[in-house]
Amino acid sequence: MAPFEFRGNTGPKRGGSRDQRRRDFTFRYPKPKTSERPLLQGQREGTPELLTFEETDKPAPKFASFADLSDSEEAEMSLSENSEDEDSRPRKRRAIASESKDSTPPPPPTALKWSNPDPYTALPPPDESQHKRMDVVKMIRKAKLQNSLDEAKKDAVTDNDDFISLGPAPEISTESQAPDNAPKGPKSMEQQPPSLPSSKRTRDDESKGVSFKTGKPRARFMDDGSILYQWKAFSGQDDTPWMSNTYPMHPSRKLHCEVLDFFNWVRPHDYEQIVREDLISRLDDAFRQRYGPVSVKPFGSFASGMYLPTADIDLVLLSKGFMAGGRKQFGERKGQIYAFSAYLKSLEIAVPGSIETIAHARVPILKFIDKLTGIRVDLSFDNDSGIIANRTFQEWKRQYPLMPVIVSVIKQFLLLRGLNEVPTGGLGGFSITCLVTSLLQHMPSNKQDNIGDVLMSFFDFYGFMMDYERVGLRMEPPGYYNKGFGDNDRLSIIDPNNSSNDISGGTKEIRLIFRAFRDAHDSLSRRMQEIAHSNQPKSILQAIIAANYDEYTEQRFQLRHVYENSQQFARYRGSPAGVDPDRNAQKTTTQRPVQNPADRPHLVPRGPRRK
């Protein structure tokens, strides 16, 4: 054999047999076999718990057997039989020392040794997190404070050490004293915030603010369309302050006169109009100083002259570019709305904290309360739709002089029931005007002499005959149209200035509103029948709009106080012609131009007509 003969490795090949499948490379170690686990091989640390059922090394019993116990008090306690651990474990009970002097004291008990407690019998350790921790710094401060108080008490002059009492102090009877928990006022005042002003006013009182108004509607409607609680009159209160005792006996003529009296009572006085116009002038001057040739214009109920005493003022701020060519410059950016809000706050025109910025709405507006008058103001930007609608209203007012009278009653009727707010599904002021105007457009002129009959016709037509689910209103030219598929549960009124706009699309509660109209017609009919068979001077409108009108009285008192005591209104008070503050801002006339009666269209009745 050659001395250097290569024979290869004698051991097994590295890759195993060629028939064995090659494994993928991995950093993981192969899993050990089940039989190689330490638990099954007995490789564990020594613990007092038994993991197997072995007979050896059993723990000592923790409780004595019931048979080994004795009921005798003189019987000695039996000790454990395991004498091997006596020296290592603590003694269960010490022997009582003998009274003899020769007895030696027992040896001291051995120290306890740590042992692993039994998890089934041992109590859990106390949780220190549940206990109140001791604040060392606080204790030191308290001790210093106590020491300083003790030193101060050592002053003899302060403690009156030289005081000589002449007799015992008289005992105070506790029977005459009220208990500590006795109420200090009416329960109705307990929850009232102290910042709200009192509703009682006198001639010498200063002008007080009103409650703030948020973006949400102030009142919700009732499910049955009844009057809201805050408008209900108290017992013995005059709920019809417009009523006179000189009405004719015939119910129809009496209703005619009472409606006119209500209109004359609720419409604005001269001083109300002057104070509101002064508010618009102050805002217009302030914005001109900052933004140049801009203009603040009113629209809505104030511009039409048919606003209630507590109504808001709707204003719009028009930029120079919008007035010149219709190009919007204000209200396009949200940051600009907040800039207007900051500037308005710096003017000190608004009540502090009353400015509300609604910049993310489709039509951005600013809401605030005037500091001088307490009137609520809604300010929008570069939108002339309200101004155009006011021109249309003035034209209708010229054609139908009775329209403002009927509108005032319908507005008050819906206001008392919370159905006049469009955000809550109510009927807006311009939609009410369209309903009244549409009725007058299709009513013969010879039936418009009696305002009471026109009011009853309004409640009758829209309460019983108008089918808003199938028929819509068209103002120009006057008429009705059949509705197609879509919002059949809403009232549809085509905007006379924009045929693609439905001005009553937001009135979701039209079913409830028309049902309230139906109930109003029945209530007025029953009241007129009662008056026809009795000689009592009852109010007919009391059946539908009787309410607590103290809010109107207070608002008018506040505006008149401002008018009579503010310097900017001195020119009106001292003018030769003079302005009568009690005179209404507009006069009522019952004469109308003769009109050609329009044919009434065929309408599908909503149901059987009442008998």
What CATH number is given to the structural domain containing 527? Answer: 1.10.1410.10
Instruction: Look at residue 28 and tell me if it is in a domain.
Output: no
- Torsions phi, psi for 337 (to 5 deg): -65, -40
Last residue of a domain, one of 358, 383, 408: 383
Indicate the SS3 state at residue 37: coil
Instruction: Look at residue 41 and tell me if it is in a domain.
Output: no
Pick from 66, 86, 68: nearest CA to 76: 68
Residue whose structure tokens are 């209703």: 255
Are 462 and 517 in contact by the 8 Å Cβ rule? The answer is yes
Q: Which burial class, exposed, middle or buried, applies to 107 when counting CB atoms under 10 A from its CB (0-12, 13-18, 19+)?
A: exposed
CATH of residue 348:
3.30.460.10
Pick from 387, 379, 386: nearest CA to 331: 379
Instruction: Look at residue 275 and tell me if it is in a domain.
Output: yes
404 shares a domain with 328:
no
* pLDDT at position 247: 79
Rounded-to-integer distance, Cα 28 and Cα 124, Å: 41
CA atoms lying within 13 Å on the CB side of residue 533: 5
Residue 36 tokens, joined: 């190689």
Last residue of a domain, one of 502, 520, 545: 545
415 shares a domain with 541:
yes
Instruction: Look at residue 301 and tell me if it is in a domain.
Output: yes
531 shares a domain with 494:
yes
316 shares a domain with 274:
yes
* pLDDT at position 36: 78
Instruction: Look at residue 486 and tell me if it is in a domain.
Output: yes
459 shares a domain with 359:
no
Instruction: Look at residue 369 and tell me if it is in a domain.
Output: yes
432 shares a domain with 541:
yes
What b-and-e string marks burial along 528-566, b requiring 16 or more CB atoms within 10 Å of the CB?
A: beebeeeeeebbbbbbbbbbbbebbebbbebbbbbbeee
For the chain, residues with pLDDT lower than 70 are 1-29, 42-106, 109-132, 150-219, 485-487, 574-611
Instruction: Look at residue 37 and tell me if it is in a domain.
Output: no
340 shares a domain with 376:
yes
540 shares a domain with 415:
yes
pTM: 0.61
Are 403 and 353 in contact by the 8 Å Cβ rule? The answer is no
340 shares a domain with 431:
no
Last residue of a domain, one of 511, 545, 579: 545
* Neighbouring residues of 242: CB distance < 8 A, sequence distance ≥ 6: 258, 261, 262, 264, 265, 266
* Neighbouring residues of 140: CB distance < 8 A, sequence distance ≥ 6: none
443 shares a domain with 367:
no
* pLDDT at position 215: 40
Are 516 and 419 in contact by the 8 Å Cβ rule? The answer is yes
513 shares a domain with 405:
yes
Rounded-to-integer distance, Cα 395 and Cα 304, Å: 11
What's the Rg (C-alpha) of the chain? 46
Instruction: Look at residue 156 and tell me if it is in a domain.
Output: no
Rounded-to-integer distance, Cα 199 and Cα 374, Å: 14
CA atoms lying within 13 Å on the CB side of residue 170: 3
Domain holding 486, by residue range, is 397-545
Rounded-to-integer distance, Cα 576 and Cα 95, Å: 120
Please count the structural domains in the chain.
2
408 shares a domain with 432:
yes
